[in-house]
Amino acid sequence: MRDTRRARATIVDIAARAGVSKSTVSLVLRNSPLARQQTAERVRDAMRELGYVYNRGAANLRRARSNVVGVVVSDIVNPFFAELAVGLENAFLAAGYLPILVNTGEDRERQARVIQALREQAVAGLVVSAADRTEAAAIKSLAASGLPVTLAMRDLPGSGLPYVGQDNLEGARVATRHLLSLGHARIAFLAGSSSIATHRERVDGYRRALAEVGVAFDPSLVIEAPPMRESGEQVVARALALPAPPRAALCFNDLTAIAAMSALQRRGLRPGADFAIVGFDDIEEGAHVDPPLTTVSMQTDDLARTAARVLVELIEGGAPPAAPIYGVARLVVRGSCGAAAARR
């Protein structure tokens, strides 16, 4: 088996075969007009015949640059981050960079290890959607070493690093206002953990909307739980067990919103009719449940493209954006969404 393995052809082999020097081959490789048309043709034939594959690592070493960027994602199994990753990947590929996607699974230690591995691989830059509880200092020191870093979706307040992400505060505010406009006053905030900045920002927006209409904030209505489908049962149980149970909730994301809907249904409560639910993070799940879920949409694709662009500019010597870049939070109203629930 091993015997079939040929050593890779190099530009020297190509040069020999085409009867030119290796400088000429290099010129042809980079489509320089300095090589004669006919010579270029001969060189390209030789490459084809020898099955030549460009060694980008060698080229990068010599040129002291790199065409690879790192994309560090906190939880690739979450379709929200998977879509972010895909968007980033597309944008980088289109810009001529090869993205290395690594998943940290919300594990800070693992995050540190993979980032180190990426640095050793001499990546040109990093976009990171930081793991839960990541300390700003950890990433900041990275950037201090001169490596271009852009934060996506998870801000690290105080790090001073360029950030591209959702407008969590505004999104939660819009969603909460929607529920308030339906006539709800006791509105729960279900699932998610305050250890994640995203959660804190959303709770802030929720509080702000309440404050704007003079509704007192009740901390017992903010019920934390891991943002997974499995948490639906638990958060609904706790919400309904409150002395004055809410009839409306803003959920940390769409997965937990759907899980909460199921938990309500298991109790004979009809989402929409008996209990209003709004979810975050539109990964187009909201439209496919019954009844449809009203969500705050975050345009992952746009944000991914933007984050990639910001990093590429940083890599190519541009200035970082002066302020965080926020995606527009858009409320997608689906179904009746609980006007009736408020009247009960």
Partner DNA sequence: CTGAAAGCGCTTACAG
Binding stretches for DNA (CB under 7 A): 7-8, 10-12, 19-24, 26-27, 29-30, 33-37, 39, 52-55, 58-59, 61-64
Strand order in the sheet with 276-279: 222-223, 187-190, 248-251, 276-279, 294-297, 330-332
Partner whose binding site includes residue 26, from a copy of itself, DNA, none (CB under 5 to 8 Å by kind): DNA
Partner whose binding site includes residue 29, from DNA, a copy of itself, none (CB under 5 to 8 Å by kind): DNA
Give the dihedral sign, CA 230/233/235/238.
negative
Check: CB of residue 69 under 8 Å from CB of residue 121. Answer: no
**Residue 82 touches a copy of itself, criterion: CB under 8 A:** yes
What is the DSSP-derived secondary structure letter of residue 135? -
Query: Would you give the distance in Å from CA 230 to the centre of its chain?
Result: 22
What is the DSSP-derived secondary structure letter of residue 284? S
Between 141 and 181, CB nearer to a copy of itself: 141
Between 25 and 84, CB nearer to DNA: 25
**Binding-residue pattern over the window 284 to 323 for a copy of itself, x denoting contact by CB under 8 A:** -x--xxx--------------------------x-xx---
What is the dihedral angle through the alpha carbons of 225, 83, 111, 65, rounded to the nearest 10 degrees?
Answer: -160
**Binding-residue pattern over the window 203 to 232 for a copy of itself, x denoting contact by CB under 8 A:** --------------------------xx-x
Q: Which amino acid is at 197?
A: A
**Residue 269 touches a copy of itself, criterion: CB under 8 A:** no
Partner whose binding site includes residue 211, from a copy of itself, DNA, none (CB under 5 to 8 Å by kind): none
Rg of the chain in Å (alpha carbons): 26
Nearest to 121 by CA among 97, 151, 89: 97
Give the dihedral sign, CA 142/204/269/292.
negative
Partner whose binding site includes residue 133, from a copy of itself, DNA, none (CB under 5 to 8 Å by kind): none
**Residue 58 touches a copy of itself, criterion: CB under 8 A:** yes
| Binding segment (CB under 8 A) for a copy of itself, from list 33-41, 164-172, 204-212, 282-290 | 282-290
